[in-house]
Amino acid sequence: MIKDLPKKIQNFDLSGYVGILTGGGPAPGLNATIQGFTYAAYERNIGVVGFHDGYKGLMDGDFSILVPEALNPNRTHISSINGINIIGVSNIAYESGSILRNSRTNLSKIPGAFEKCKEVIKQLNLKAVACLGGDDTLGVAYKLYENGIPTVGAPKTIDNDVLGTDYCFGFDTAINTVTNIIRNLIFDAKATSGILIVETMGRRAGWIALESGMAGGAHAILIPELYRAKVEDPDLYPELEEYRHINFNVDSVVDIIKHRFERGKHYAVICVAEGYVDEILEKKVEETSKEIPKDEFGHVRLDKLGIGKIIADYIAEKLETRTRSIQTGYICRSSRTSAFDSYMSINYGIRLIDLMHEQNFGKMVVMDGSKFVIKDLSVATQKIRYVQPWRFKNASKFWNWTLTG
């Protein structure tokens, strides 16, 4: 039985409650959004319920009450009210992870899940629920909305591949972290005459690999778009067409390294997105993937696949040289939130409360240009936001290598 929510917390006489949850993997900016959301809610005398473990918490009724500061007027810590756990959200804007915890629960695959969620929201008498996550999480948020649950959302994924926004929170922190890793590793590569393969997150789109690789000084970059262009529907993804004429793959990287050797540079740092594959490696990737578990949305655990190591082994065999691979995924998604991500995320949280107050449900807050704008949640479910071909071509100019096409 769900306990009654208090009608007064500290100096706030509450007119009702709203909910918030974080789905998918952790990303810097989640806590900043939660803080902005909670502060803006209490400013309107609205309480906040935070569901634990994403949609699992919403379905099971596992939640805490979020407050601007978990202290009473006498500066005594409040741990619970009416037997409900209390979490203060002050000074969390720079913290990575999520104070609510995440999960990849897919409600669409659980019988009766949407009805359970509706019952929890009814018992708590919530005005609406904010869902923070990538396209999978936002897709479920849209289904909740279609099932009569008032939802809003904000795009969270360090992969930066959600359609409809220029930036997902977590991305800026990720590229700054990986950029610094690459810059540091270059000194190691120089000292050891080593070939280092830096693997970044990026299941379908290569935003992190491209931008951090370019800024960090990588000597070649491999992104999923190079191959995705050959298998995606050209009518759905006309923006990928130009990739079809770019002849660049793992053998191109081998040639770049050879070229460097010939110039007396016996080291290289290569940046690759975890979702990269090409015609040369696809058989090996397919065989390896068969033994790897999938998450609830059917995605292969790419950290277990290790495309960086597969490429490192391939280069080592081709060039008879020593190679090493480094995975950066968990490091960059747990890094302290950058100033840009904190600022953007706080604003996302504030704007989500505005949407709820306006009863403008089924929407998400996004950044378009330099403005925070509102778009339908359905936009996030339409297709993937890929890296445009001109960006990859520009990056290639730094490699002393000419792309064909």
Q: Return the number of other C-beta atoms located less than 10 Å from residue 329's C-beta.
A: 19
Burial class of residue 82, CB neighbours in 10 A (0-12, 13-18, 19+): exposed
193: pLDDT confidence band, cut at 50, 70 and 90?
very high
pTM, full prediction: 0.93
pLDDT at res. 72: 63
Per-residue pLDDT tens over the stretch 104-143: 888 888 999 999 999 999 999 999 999 999 988 999 999 9
Per-residue pLDDT tens over the stretch 278-297: 999 999 988 888 877 776 66
Domains, the chain, ranges and CATH?
Answer: 8-168+337-369 (3.40.50.450), 174-334+387-399 (3.40.50.460)
405: pLDDT confidence band, cut at 50, 70 and 90?
very low
Q: How far, in Å, are 70, 111, 244, 320 from residue 323 at the CA level?
A: 51, 48, 29, 9
- Name the nearest CA neighbour of 196 among 185, 183, 207, 206: 185
Going 48 to 49 to 52 to 53, the CA torsion angle's sign is negative
Averaged pLDDT for residues 212-238: 95
Tell me which residues are annotated as active site: 159
Q: In what order do the strands lie in the sheet with 126-133?
A: 80-81, 84-88, 63-67, 47-51, 17-22, 126-133, 151-155, 363-368, 371-376
Question: Are 380 and 135 a contacting pair, CB within 8 Å?
Answer: yes
